[in-house]
Structure 1
Amino acid sequence: MQSCRIQKTRVVIQQGDIALMLVDGLVSPDTTDVWMQRGVAAAIARSCNVSIREEIDDPRPIPIGEVVVTSAGKLPARH
């Protein structure tokens, strides 16, 4: 595990199953359409047991560099 501080925020980098992490939030890359069908995004979508895709407001695509915040469904993370 590695960690660093960015201003008043402590960032921790861990290796393991992202769906089991007890954290405030998960960060996952995806396409601008945010379909969560590949890689880490797909693993999160499968594990949360709800369709967090439905929480994403249209219109799509999301501009490159923008952030989409959703609940974590049934995952132990908050976001």
Structure 2
Amino acid sequence: MPRFKFPNGVVVELMKGDITTLEVDAIVNAANPYLEHGGGVAGAIVRRGGWMIQEESREWVKKHGPVPVGGVAVTGAGRLKARYIIHTVGPRCGIEPIEKLNDAVVNSLRKAEELNIVSIAFPAISTGVFGCPYDEAARIMAKAIRREAPGLRSVRLIIICLYDDEAFNVFSGVFNEELKEFKESKD
């Protein structure tokens, strides 16, 4: 499991697994603008965490309107082991610029700081039905984390949780390249 440690103590870990089972303060949901939890990570969050997450998401949209690409919304986490779900809307590749993924990651980390969150888990945002290639998404996410991590005060652990072997292998390769000077040895 690739692990990186920044000088200020922030740790970034990549793991393969189901993000809905993690015991972290916040799970990032790869959301659509209307926070409808149909499939992918969003669907899995509601299946495991309960319908109350969908209801709270709909209330958020009624009150604030659709979440813009790169924007965030926060709800409770229902029956998940997390305290919060930070819903972020990544770009739909071929429709919005993939660079908007940077905003989704940065705004999620900044919202985590506002909430005094210590641990946060991200999926491979925009790589499912939004169609972004793993390598490009991984590079943007790694660079965004690299820029934001030195300024984080409450967030100490950032997990990138990848559902399958292909995503894990591609993200691991990119993060090993982009964050190589922060890589912890396995000794």
Structure number with bigger Rg: 2
Does the residue aligned with 1:70 lie in a helix, a strand or coil? Answer: strand
In the alignment, structure 2 segments of 5+ residues that lack a partner are 85-187
Offset of residue 62 of structure 1: 1.5
Alpha-carbon spacing, 1:38–1:4, altered in 2? closer, same or farther (3 Å): same
Amino acid at match of 1:2: P
How high is the TM-score relative to the length of structure 1? 0.78
Q: Give the total of aligned pairs.
A: 79
Quote the Cα distance in structure 1 between the aligned partners of 2:19 and 2:72: 19
Offset of residue 71 of structure 1: 1.1
Alpha-carbon spacing, 1:70–1:4, altered in 2? closer, same or farther (3 Å): farther
Amino acid at match of 2:2: Q
TM-align CA RMSD: 2.0
Match for residue 19 of structure 1? 20
Alpha-carbon spacing, 1:14–1:22, altered in 2? closer, same or farther (3 Å): same
Percent sequence identity is 35
Quote the Cα distance in structure 2 between the aligned partners of 1:3 and 1:26: 19
In the alignment, structure 1 segments of 5+ residues that lack a partner are none
Q: Which runs of 4+ in 1 moved over 6 A?
A: none
Does the residue aligned with 1:69 lie in a helix, a strand or coil? Answer: strand
Quote the Cα distance in structure 2 between the aligned partners of 1:11 and 1:24: 15
Structure 1 segment 62-73 matched on structure 2, within 5 A: 62-73=67-78
Quote the Cα distance in structure 2 between the aligned partners of 1:69 and 1:10: 23
Quote the Cα distance in structure 1 between the aligned partners of 2:10 and 2:55: 30
Does the residue aligned with 1:27 lie in a helix, a strand or coil? Answer: strand
